[in-house]
Structure 1
């Protein structure tokens, strides 16, 4: 399905019945990374799995910023009149979730974010160096965004009041200290580390995160 928002067209999948659940993927991916989890989640939720602008079947753009992603998702929810959805975001999707929950405290009923960072320093050094190398070769705006953004403050995090669940892998590219920093500054939040998993292994083409979402939303 397609929807026109903020002068771009976003592609999304709607599937299932029940309370609404918004799902957002990471950088360079599409909603399809959630297919295995969605097969479980559709029994409990009406799932809206969206492709960010410049990703999947959504519109291409000349510049890419996290604020634009956040504005798109806010308007998506308003246009479709989705009331108090659960929000799940992986990586870039998690960043956008933090931004929206801090700016619009009553937008979501619950916030679940996997491997988010509030600034580029949250990434392990080797990951940032690799991104710089990739950007030097490809000049990708998706990589440039990760190198320079986001800039979410501690004050922003403190504005999030809804139940919040933060996850990471024990071998994540986001440092554990950074994930702890996020958790410690969101009042009603918990942090879960998935042992022996990377940034994406429990999410991409996996039903592990789907089972976790069901567990925390019971």
Structure 2
């Protein structure tokens, strides 16, 4: 399904029934990475799985910024009058979740983010070097955004007061220290590290994150 937002077209898939759940993917991906988890989640939630601008079936744009992604999702929620959804975001989706939850403190009922960073310093050196090489070869605006953004002040994170779950893999491209910094800056938050998993292995084409979302939302 498609909706016009902020002058562009956003693609989304709606399924299931129950409490609303917004799901956002990572850089260069689409909502389809969640398909296995959605098959579990739509028994408990009305799931809105969205393609970011310039991803999947959503409109292509000339430049990308996390704040634009956040503005799109905020407008999406308002257009459909979605009340107090649970928000789940992976990687870029997690960054956008942190931006939105700190700007609009009553927008979500719960925030769940996997592998987010609040600035590029959160990336491990090998990951950043790989991105620099990739950008030199491709000039991809998606990669450029990850190298230059986001820039979320710790003070902004302190504004988040809804229940928040932060996750990472034990072999994540985001450093454990950075994830702990995010967690320590948000009241009412917990950090879960998935042992033996990478940045994406417990999320992309996996039921693990779906089971985790169900678990934390049913506590």
How do 1:149-188 and structure 2 match up within 5 A? Answer: 149-188=149-188
How do 1:18-29 and structure 2 match up within 5 A? Answer: 18-29=18-29
Superposed displacement of residue 32, structure 1: 0.1
| Alpha-carbon distance between aligned partners in 2 of 1:156 and 1:198, rounded to the nearest angstrom | 27
Superposed displacement of residue 215, structure 1: 0.2
In the other structure, the counterpart of 1:106 is 106
In the other structure, the counterpart of 2:210 is 210
SS at match of 1:10: strand
SS at match of 2:87: strand
| Alpha-carbon distance between aligned partners in 1 of 2:156 and 2:203, rounded to the nearest angstrom | 26
In the other structure, the counterpart of 2:67 is 67
Query: Normalised by the size of structure 2, how large is the TM-score?
Result: 0.99
Superposed displacement of residue 188, structure 1: 0.7
| Alpha-carbon distance between aligned partners in 2 of 1:19 and 1:47, rounded to the nearest angstrom | 8
| Alpha-carbon distance between aligned partners in 1 of 2:36 and 2:171, rounded to the nearest angstrom | 22
Superposed displacement of residue 78, structure 1: 0.0
Structure 2 spans left out of the alignment, 5+ residues: none
* 2:131 paired with 1:123: no
How many residues end up aligned between the 2 structures?
218
Superposed displacement of residue 29, structure 1: 0.1
* 2:193 paired with 1:196: no
| Alpha-carbon distance between aligned partners in 2 of 1:156 and 1:131, rounded to the nearest angstrom | 27
In the other structure, the counterpart of 1:77 is 77
| Alpha-carbon distance between aligned partners in 1 of 2:4 and 2:120, rounded to the nearest angstrom | 30
Superposed displacement of residue 152, structure 1: 0.3
In the other structure, the counterpart of 1:16 is 16
| Alpha-carbon distance between aligned partners in 2 of 1:148 and 1:159, rounded to the nearest angstrom | 24
Deviating 4+ runs (over 2 angstroms)? none
Cα deviation 1:108-141 (Å, max 9, x = unaligned): 0000000000000000000000000000000000
SS at match of 2:23: strand
In the other structure, the counterpart of 2:44 is 44
Superposed displacement of residue 52, structure 1: 0.1
Structure 1 spans left out of the alignment, 5+ residues: none
